[in-house]
Amino acid sequence: MPGLVQTLQALRIRNFRYLWLSHTLSYFIQRMEVLVLGWLVLELTNSPFLVGLIGALRFGGSLIGPLAGVVADRFNRRQLLLLVQCLILVQMGGMFLLIWKGWLQAWHIFAITLLGGVNRAFEWPTQQALTADLVQEEELANGVALINAASNVTSILGPALGGVVLAWFGPGACYGLLFVIGLLQMATLYQIRMPSPMAKGKEHSLWQEIRTGVHYSAHHPLVLAALATAVLINLLGFPLTFSLMPVFARDILAVGADGLGFLTAAVGGGSLLGSLLVASRGTLHQAAPLMLGGTLGWMGSMILFALLPWYLPALLVLGVMGIAQGLSMANIAILILGHTTPEMRGRIMGLRSMAICALPVGSLVAGAATELLGAPLTVLLSGILGIGLMCGIHRQFLRVANPSLTRLS
C-alpha cells in the first residue's frame, strides 16, 4: 500500500487530479478518433494513401508548436484550454451532423482533421505547462509519469472501444460518444482553480518571443538534450511502432492481424510499466540518466527485435522496448518542465511538440528503406544510428550539464 500511495502521490493535489482526468479524456478522444477517421476515409475513397495522408494531417499542427507555446505563455492556461476544447467540440459536433445527415464527403474529413490538428497544437503545450504549474518540484516527476501512464492506457482502450462502437453502431455513434466525452473533459477543466497569476514582463512580438524560447533552450544543456532526444525518438524509434509493425507481423513473424495486435499491445503494456516505474521512483535529479538509459535501451531493443525471426521472443523484446520507451518519454518531459522557468514553459513545450514533425519524416524514410533493404535491416540500422546519436547527445549536452553522467561515456 505505501508503494501505491507513492505512485499516485500527485493525485492527492485537487487541481492536478482534475487536470489528469482532462489529459486522460483528451488522450482517449484522440486514440478513438484516429481509428474512426481511418475507417471513414478508407470507406469513402478506398485509398490506403489517403488513409496515410489523414494520419499525417493530424500531426500537421505541430508545425506551429512554437507559436502555440508563445500563446500558452501569454494567456491564462486554463482559459486557453477551455477555448481549445470548445473548438474541438464544434469539430466533433460537425462530424456527427455530417454523418447523421448523410452529407459527409472525403474533403470534409480532411478539412476538419486539419483544423483539429491546429487545435491540438495549442492544447498539448498548454496542458504540459499547466501540469508543472499545479504541482511542486518534488511531485513533478510523479505527475508527468502519471500523465504518460494515462496516455499508455488509452492507447489500448481507446481503439478497442472505438472498434466495438464502430462495428455495432457505426461512425455517427462514435462521434456522438466522442462529443459526450469532450463535454466531460470540459467539465474537468472547469474544476481547476488556478494559482495566483505570475507577474509578466513586457510582451514582445510573437517572432521575438519564439526567438527567446529558442535562445533559452540553446543556453540550457539539459533542456536542449531533451529536445534533441525527442527529435531522435520520433525520427528513428516510433516508425517501427507506427509504420513497420504490420510488415513484421505478416512477412517476418508470420502471425497475421491477431499477432499484430499482441505485438502492438506488448509495446503499450511495457510503456505503461515504464511510466509507472517513473511515477513510483523517479525524481527530477534522476531524469537525465533515466532519459539516457531509456533511450539507449529503446534503440538496443530495436536491434535485438530486428534479429529475431521468432514470435514469442520478439514479443518479449517488444515488452522490454516498451518499458524503455516509457522511461525515455516520461523523463524527456520531466527534464524540460523541471529545468524551465514558469514563464517559458509554454514556449519550450511548443518546441517539444514541433519534434513530432520528425515522425512522418521518419516513417517515410523507413518505408522507403524497407522497400530497398527489408524491414529487419531497416530497423537494425535505425537502432544503431539511434545509439550513435544518443551517445553524441550525451557527450555534447548531458555530460556537460550533469557531471555524474560522465561514467556512462
Question: According to the model, what pLDDT value does residue 239 have?
Answer: 87
| CATH fold match for the domains 8-191 and 212-409 | yes
Question: According to the model, what pLDDT value does residue 22 have?
Answer: 93
Confidence band, pLDDT 50/70/90 cuts, at residue 204: low
Contact 182, 27 (CB under 8 A): no
Question: According to the model, what pLDDT value does residue 18 have?
Answer: 93
Helices (H) and strands (E) in the chain, counts: 19, 0
Question: According to the model, what pLDDT value does residue 199 have?
Answer: 47
Residue 407 has pLDDT above 50, yes or no: no
Question: According to the model, what pLDDT value does residue 6 have?
Answer: 67
Q: How far apart, in whole angstroms, are the C-alpha atoms of residue 221 and residue 200?
A: 25
Residue 176 host element (H or E): helix 171-190
Residue 409 has pLDDT above 50, yes or no: no
Domain boundaries, the chain: 8-191, 212-409
Residue 64 has pLDDT above 60, yes or no: yes
Q: How far apart, in whole angstroms, are the C-alpha atoms of residue 330 and residue 278?
A: 7
Predicted TM-score (pTM) of the model is: 0.82
| C-alpha R_g of the chain | 21
In this predicted model, which residue has the larger pLDDT, 181 or 7?
A: 181
Q: How far apart, in whole angstroms, are the C-alpha atoms of residue 289 and residue 334?
A: 12
Confidence band, pLDDT 50/70/90 cuts, at residue 399: low
Mean predicted confidence (pLDDT) in 255-261? 74
Q: Is 194 helix (H, G, I), strand (E, B) or coil?
A: coil
% pLDDT > 70, the chain? 90
pLDDT tens for residues 123-172?
888 888 888 888 887 888 888 888 888 888 887 788 778 888 888 888 89
Question: According to the model, what pLDDT value does residue 4 have?
Answer: 63
Question: Would you tell me which CATH number, out of the four given (3.90.960.10, 3.30.1490.20, 1.20.1250.20, 3.40.50.2300), belongs to the domain 212-409?
Answer: 1.20.1250.20
Residue 27 has pLDDT above 50, yes or no: yes
Residue 405 has pLDDT above 90, yes or no: no
CATH number for the region 8-191 comes to 1.20.1250.20
Mean predicted confidence (pLDDT) in 115-127? 87
Contact 175, 99 (CB under 8 A): yes
Residue 403 has pLDDT above 60, yes or no: no
In this predicted model, which residue has the larger pLDDT, 179 or 394?
A: 179
